[in-house]
Amino acid sequence: MRFLLMIGFFIFITGCENFYTKVYDKSIKEKDINCVKISYENPFIKSKIIKAFKEEGIKVQDDCPYTINVKAKFLSQCTSPQAKSIGADFDGFMRFDLMEKGKLIYRCQMDWKGEFSEDRIKDLIEKMKEDISFK
């Protein structure tokens, strides 16, 4: 019984979010990244991502050698008849691909259930900060 309560508490605290990360170039763990450039086609969400990076103390500049390519999907954008009729395991995802000179060196993705909010962007950045060093 105690075990079930602990699991229930953990699920409540973490919400319905799943993080996936992968390091493609191990040398990134020894580097201090001092800036990032954000690449995303949606200007509204891009501005929220830039704001979140700045709030986390990470410089965002267009001439940075490190680019964050953002990919995101929200269930409301899904056009699959199957997903619309039976639902999906998640309501959205956001992925940050960290690129250096066009080469993928690190990936961090979050899937979630529920509504999208700016807090999800901050959670994703915090997860990145656990894995790699920002100056």
Asked if residue 109 belongs to a domain, the reply is: yes
pLDDT tens, position by position, 63-108: 999 999 999 987 654 455 555 554 556 678 899 999 998 999 999 9
The distance in angstroms from the start CA to the end CA of the chain is 45
Domain count, the chain: 1
Asked if residue 90 belongs to a domain, the reply is: yes
pTM for the whole structure: 0.76
Question: Quick one: tokens of 8?
Answer: 């229930």
d(CA 7, CA 4): 5
Task: Provide the CATH number for the domain around residue 76.
Answer: 3.30.160.670
